[in-house]
Amino acid sequence: MRCRQATRIISDSHERSLTLQEKGGLRLHLAICSHCRNFKQNCDELSQLMKAFANNSRK
Ligand SMILES: [Zn+2]
């Protein structure tokens, strides 16, 4: 898997559930690629911020 695919899957993971194949490939890629680990962490944090924002604005 290349970084471009990995980052695509990371982005997709916030909008749909991944297939087992995607999850497996992503896990392998993250194990060897610190760039994509950082990207995933940023994406996860952003996603949590967006969720928190959505929750707050619903009150
Ligand atoms: Zn990568």
The domain limits of the chain are 3-58
pLDDT, mean of residues 9-13:
95
What Rg value do the Cα atoms of the chain yield, rounded?
Answer: 13
C-alpha 39 – ligand 1 centre gap (Å): 9
Q: Say how many Å lie between the CA of residue 31 and the centre of ligand 1.
A: 9
| CA gap 36, 50 in Å, rounded | 21
Name the band, by pLDDT with cuts 50, 70 and 90, for residue 56: confident
- Residue 58 alpha carbon to ligand 1 centre in Å: 36
Instruction: Find the 43 Cα to ligand 1 centroid distance in Å.
Output: 14
Burial grade of 43 (CB within 10 A; 0-12, 13-18, 19 or more): middle
pLDDT greater than 90 at residue 21: yes
If pLDDT is split at 50, 70 and 90, which confidence band does 59 have? low
CA of 19 to the centre of ligand 1 (A): 19
Percent of the chain with pLDDT over 90: 83
43 pLDDT above the threshold of 80: yes
